[in-house]
C-alpha cells in the first residue's frame, strides 16, 4: 500500500481530526486557550508511534510542544515546524463554526494553519504504518508565530542547528511550495513635541503630528519596488485635542525585503532618522523580526527533490513561489539549514473570514511529506559543502 492509498483510506479520520483541531480555539493572545491546546496536542501525538513529548512552559505566551520520534538510524533529524496559534479572538468559532461544504473546510484557523498540523501528524502515521521511519524526527508546535515567535524563536533555532533539513507546515500558496520569503521588520517611531494653545500661542508649540507626518514621508521614500523593498507606516496616532498643538505622536512601521543585506541596511536607515524640527525629539525602537528566507542552492535542491517525488510517485505537479510574508522557516534558513515551506494546506484566505481548505488535497499533501521523509534528501558530500553561518 502506498502512502497516498493509506492516507486516502483514513480520509474521514483526517477530517475528524481537522474538526477537533479547529473547534478547540487557540488565539495567540489568550494563554489559557493556548495552554489547553498544547495539552491537547501532547495527548493527540502520544498515540502516533509513542514519541517523547515535552511541553515547554512559557510565561509570556502559550506553552510550546516538542515531539521526538527517535528513528532507527543515528542521523541528523528532520525538523518539522508548525504553529497552533491563530489570529482569531476567542469565541470566533461560535460566529464561524467549522463546516465542510463543496469540498472546502471552513473555520477560524483552518487554513493558517491547523490543517497543516493535521497533515503533518497523518504523514508521520503513514510513515510509521509502512515501517519507513528512517531517521529521527523532531516536531515543534509553537504558540506565538502570529505575534512574532518571540518566545519560541530560540527553541526553533536550537533544534534547526541539529537538523538535516526543516519542513514548515504553513499553508501553500495556490498549491505551490514556498522557497523564498521576505524579511519582516517591526518598528515604532515616537515623537515628542511641545504643547501649546492652537489659537493663542501656536508659535510656542512644536507639533509632534507635523514632525511625524514629515518622518512618514521619509519612511515611505525608502520604498524600492524594483528591489523588493517595502516600508509601510501602518498606524499613526497623536495629539490630545483639536485646539492643542500636539505634544506626542507615534507610528508603527512594517518593512519587508528580499535579502537580509537590505533588511539590515533598512533597519540602520530607520534608526538613523533625525527630526526636521530641532525642537522635536524622536525615538525609534524595533528591528528585523524575521530574516529573509533566501532561495539558496540547498533550498533549491530540497524543492527539486519534492517536485520530482510529487511527479514520479504521487502523480501531481508542484511549483515553487516566493512570498512576502515571514514564517518560522525564515529563522532556520538564516542559519544555513535547507528549508521547505508551504507544506501545509491547499486553500486560501489566511487571516480572513472566508479562509478555507480544499479537503481533497489533504491526503495528497500529507503523502508528499511522508514520501519526502522516507527518501534521501542530501548526500554527505552535499551536507559538508552546505554553508552554515553562525
For 23, 107, 123, 173, the CA distances from 100, given in Å and listed in that order, are: 13, 9, 22, 21
Q: What is the pLDDT of residues 214-261, one digit of tens each?
A: 999 999 999 999 999 999 999 999 999 999 999 999 999 999 999 999
Mean pLDDT, to the nearest integer, of 66-84? 93
pTM exceeds 0.85, yes or no? yes
Q: What is the pLDDT of residues 291-315, one digit of tens each?
A: 999 999 999 999 999 999 999 999 9
Q: What is the pLDDT of residues 166-178, one digit of tens each?
A: 999 999 999 999 9
Query: The dihedral of CA 303, 305, 311, 313: what is its sign?
Result: negative
CA distance 295 to 334: 11
Nearest to 4 by CA among 110, 95, 127: 127
For residue 381, the model assigns a pLDDT of 37
Does the pLDDT at position 98 exceed 50?
Answer: yes
Work out the pLDDT band at 378, boundaries 50, 70, 90: low
- Domains of the chain by start residue, with CATH: 3-181+292-385 (3.40.630.10), 183-290 (3.30.70.360)
| Diameter over CA atoms, the chain | 85
For residue 362, the model assigns a pLDDT of 98
Q: Around 115, how many Cα atoms within 13 Å sit in the side-chain half-sphere?
A: 35
Does the pLDDT at position 386 exceed 70?
Answer: no
Amino acid at each position: 500500500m502506498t502512502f497516498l492509498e493509506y492516507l486516502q483510506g483514513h480520509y474521514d479520520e483526517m477530517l475528524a481530526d481537522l474538526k477537533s483541531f479547529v473547534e478547540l480555539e487557540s488565539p495567540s493572545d489568550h494563554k489559557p486557550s493556548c495552554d489547553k491546546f498544547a495539552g491537547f496536542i501532547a495527548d493527540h501525538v502520544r498515540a502516533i508511534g509513542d514519541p517523547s513529548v515535552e511541553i515547554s512552559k512559557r510565561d509570556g505566551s502559550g506553552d510550546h510542544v516538542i515531539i521526538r520520534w527517535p528513528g532507527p538510524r543515528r542521523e541528523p533529524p528532520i525538523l518539522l515546524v508548525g504553529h497552533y496559534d491563530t489570529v482569531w479572538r476567542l469565541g470566533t468559532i461560535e460566529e464561524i463554526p467549522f463546516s465542510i461544504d463543496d469540498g472546502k473546510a471552513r473555520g477560524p484557523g483552518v487554513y493558517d494553519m491547523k490543517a497543516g498540523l493535521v497533515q503533518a501528524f497523518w504523514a508521520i502515521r503513514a510513515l510509521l504504518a509502512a515501517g519507513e521511519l528512517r531517521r529521527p524526527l523532531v516536531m515543534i508546535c509553537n504558540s506565538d508565530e502570529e505575534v512574532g515567535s518571540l518566545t519560541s524563536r530560540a527553541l526553533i533555532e536550537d533544534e534547526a542547528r541539529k537538523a538535516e533539513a526543516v519542513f514548515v507546515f504553513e499553508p501553500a500558496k495556490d498549491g505551490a511550495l514556498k522557497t523564498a520569503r521576505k524579511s519582516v521588520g517591526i518598528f515604532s517611531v515616537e515623537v515628542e513635541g511641545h504643547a501649546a494653545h492652537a489659537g493663542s500661542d501656536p508659535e510656542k508649540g512644536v507639533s509632534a503630528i507635523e514632525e511625524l507626518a514629515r518622518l512618514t514621508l521619509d519612511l515611505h521614500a525608502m520604498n524600492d519596488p524594483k528591489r523588493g523593498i517595502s516600508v509601510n507606516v501602518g498606524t499613526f496616532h497623536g495629539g490630545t485635542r483639536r485646539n492643542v498643538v500636539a505634544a506626542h505622536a507615534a507610528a508603527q512601521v512594517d518593512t519587508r525585503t528580499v535579502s537580509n543585506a537590505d533588511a539590515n541596511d533598512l533597519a540602520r536607515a530607520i534608526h538613523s532618522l533625525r527630526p526636521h524640527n530641532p525642537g522635536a525629539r524622536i525615538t525609534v525602537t524595533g528591528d528585523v523580526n524575521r530574516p529573509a528566507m533566501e532561495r539558496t542552492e540547498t533550498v533549491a535542491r530540497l524543492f527539486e527533490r519534492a517536485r520530482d517525488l510529487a511527479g514520479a510517485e504521487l502523480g501531481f505537479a508542484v511549483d515553487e513561489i516566493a512570498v512576502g510574508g515571514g514564517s518560522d522557516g525564515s529563522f532556520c534558513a538564516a542559519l544555513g539549514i535547507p528549508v521547505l515551506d508551504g507544506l501545509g494546506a491547499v486553500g486560501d484566505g489566511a487571516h480572513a473570514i472566508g479562509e478555507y481548505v480544499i479537503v481533497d488535497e489533504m491526503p495528497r499533501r500529507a503523502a508528499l511529506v511522508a514520501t519526502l521523509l522516507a527518501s534521501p534528501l542530501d548526500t554527505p558530500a552535499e551536507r559538508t559543502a552546505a554553508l552554515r553561518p553562525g
